Amino acid sequence: MQLRMLMTEIQKEIRALGDLLSVTQNIVLTAHKDPDGDALGSALALWHWLRKRGHTVDIALPSPYPDGFHWLPGLDKTLVSDYDMEEIVQKLKFASVVIYLDFNAMDRIERLSEAFSQTDAQSVMIDHHRDPEPIADIMISDVAASSTCELVFEVMTSLYGDVDLDRNIATCLYTGIITDTGSFKYNIRPQLFIHVSKLLSTGIDSNAIQDLIFNNLDIKFLRLLGLCLTERFILMPEVQTGIFYLTKQDYKEFDIKRGDTEGIINYLLKVKNIKVAAFFRQQPGIIKISLRSKGSISVQQIARELFNGGGHLNASGGYLHGSLRKAITRFQKELPNYLSKYKELKV
């Protein structure tokens, strides 16, 4: 019953977006800082689709995208606040609609937050993270969706069917679905595969896209992984938790850039007795934290309460100011309290 109500609510919001899009609009899309495959894929898919439907559309990102995604169609047309702030402010001045993708709290777009909040444009959020804040006039929020890309697919097809689907749109949506589900390992539900079959029907090459996403690493990744496995690894067997960390010196020595550490945390969860994984990185200005878990164990509350962050049940993140050592010690001290309620952990 509750799910049915939820679906109706989402459908209502999608219809409200449909009403907005029934006239030609000036649209600015944005996605979260340090955009991943889902953030970029959802923004670019909408960019292609909305343009096809006659709207004027720009994408404004709050931070640069990882080089590894350079092959995504349209990515080179995006505006990035670090380089294009004036143009972004100008575009927002004339925007009639803004769309927030793959985030649900304004601090996730950092320096763009103020610029977006000041527009008179109608705002729309499309997202699948937990605990959304009321940041938009139209809130298309579904925590059961695997990815924002899956939701964007639902928005497109429930408004206009699949007539507009083409290879560019399908490539972008497939990328977000593949990255957020870890190639259909997490957050999957039956309807996702029906959607994916429609994406594949456009003729996109799944093997080629997966190769571009997963088998396209710089050799630096293996070196970093080696460092984490051998020298930056803390095991907490009493709470079945593994921790990796990287120091400021590591960042300098390995010339670590955006996206270079993506995926390293997943290696901790490959160990059968590890149920919770944490990855602390001493980035310029902040300690960035990623958290992952298996099964019903939630890391979202920990991210929210200890690290100013949030995310999903099994994948969350946040940040702290201060020293790396303090951040790790805090996590080690507080973690058992959070895990004590999970019987499968025997904490």
Residues that bind ligand 5GP (CB under 6 A): 105, 108, 129, 290, 309-312, 315-319
Q: What is the DSSP letter of 65?
A: P
CB 42 to Mn ion: min, Å: 8
- Pick from Mn ion, ligand 5GP, none: which does 316 bind, CB < 5 to 8 A by kind? ligand 5GP
The only residue of 13, 34, 38, 154 in contact with Mn ion, by rule CB under 5 A: 38
Pair 333, 236: CB distance under 8 Å: no
The partner in contact with residue 317, picked from Mn ion, ligand 5GP, none with C-beta cut-offs of 5 to 8 angstroms by kind, is ligand 5GP
Stretch (H or E) spanning 303: helix 300-307
H-helix or E-strand containing 56? Answer: strand 56-61
How far apart are CB 38 and Mn ion at their closest, in Å?
Answer: 3
- Residue whose beta carbon is closest to ligand 5GP: 317
How many CB atoms within 10 Å of residue 262? 17
What, of ligand 5GP, Mn ion, none, does residue 290 touch, CB below 5 to 8 Å by kind?
Answer: ligand 5GP
Calpha distance 257→260 (Å, rounded):
6
Q: Which is nearer to ligand 5GP, 122 or 147 (CB)?
A: 147
- Determine the size of the site formed for Mn ion (CB under 5 A): 5
Which of the listed partners (Mn ion, ligand 5GP, none) does 309 bind, with a CB threshold of 5 to 8 Å by partner kind? ligand 5GP
Question: In one letter, which amino acid is 302?
Answer: I
CB of 195 to ligand 5GP, least distance (A): 20
Could you tell me which residues are beta bridge partners of residue 125?
100, 139
Give yes or no for a contact between 75 and 69, defined as CB atoms under 8 angstroms apart: yes
In the complex, least distance from residue 335 CB atom to Mn ion, rounded to whole angstroms: 25
Query: Residue 210 has which token pair?
Result: 């997966």
Give the residue from 3, 12, 295, 48 showing the smallest Cα distance to 149: 48
Distance CA 161, CA 117 (A): 32
Token digits for 58? 């720009």
Cα separation, 29 vs 116, whole angstroms:
10
User: Of Mn ion, ligand 5GP, none, which one sits near residue 232, judging by CB under 5 to 8 A according to partner kind?
Assistant: none
Which of Mn ion, ligand 5GP, none sits in contact with 38, Cβ below 5 to 8 A by type?
Mn ion
Kindly state the tokens that stand for 104.
Answer: 């649900």
Closest CA to 103 of 61, 155, 53, 54: 61
CB of 268 to ligand 5GP, least distance (A): 12
Nearer to Mn ion, 14 or 40 (CB): 40
Least Cβ distance, residue 309 to ligand 5GP (angstroms): 3
The site map against Mn ion for 153-192 (x = CB under 5 A) is ---------------------------x------------
Q: CA 158 to CA 286: how far, in whole Å?
A: 41
- Candidate list 13, 34, 102, 150; residue touching Mn ion; CB under 5 A: 102
Shortest Å distance, C-beta 217 to ligand 5GP: 16
Q: What is the x/- site pattern for Mn ion, positions 59-98, by CB under 5 A?
A: ----------------------------------------
The helix or strand, by DSSP H or E, that contains position 289, with its residue range, turns out to be strand 286-293
- Considering only the stretches 19-27, 144-152, 157-165, 227-235, report the one whose residues sit in contact with Mn ion under the rule CB under 5 A: 144-152
260 belongs to the binding site for Mn ion (CB under 5 A) = no
DSSP string, 198-260: HHHTTT--HHHHHHHHHS---HHHHHHHHHHHHHSEEEEGGGTEEEEEE-HHHHHHTT--TTT
As measured in angstroms, the least distance from the Cβ of 49 to ligand 5GP is 23
- Closest distance between Mn ion and the C-beta of residue 152, in Å? 11
DSSP character at residue 166: -
What is the distance between the alpha carbons of residues 224 and 241, in angstroms, rounded to a whole number?
A: 20
Quick one: 207 exposed, middle or buried, by C-beta within 10 A (0-12, 13-18, 19+)?
Answer: exposed
Residues that bind Mn ion (CB under 5 A): 38, 102, 147-148, 180
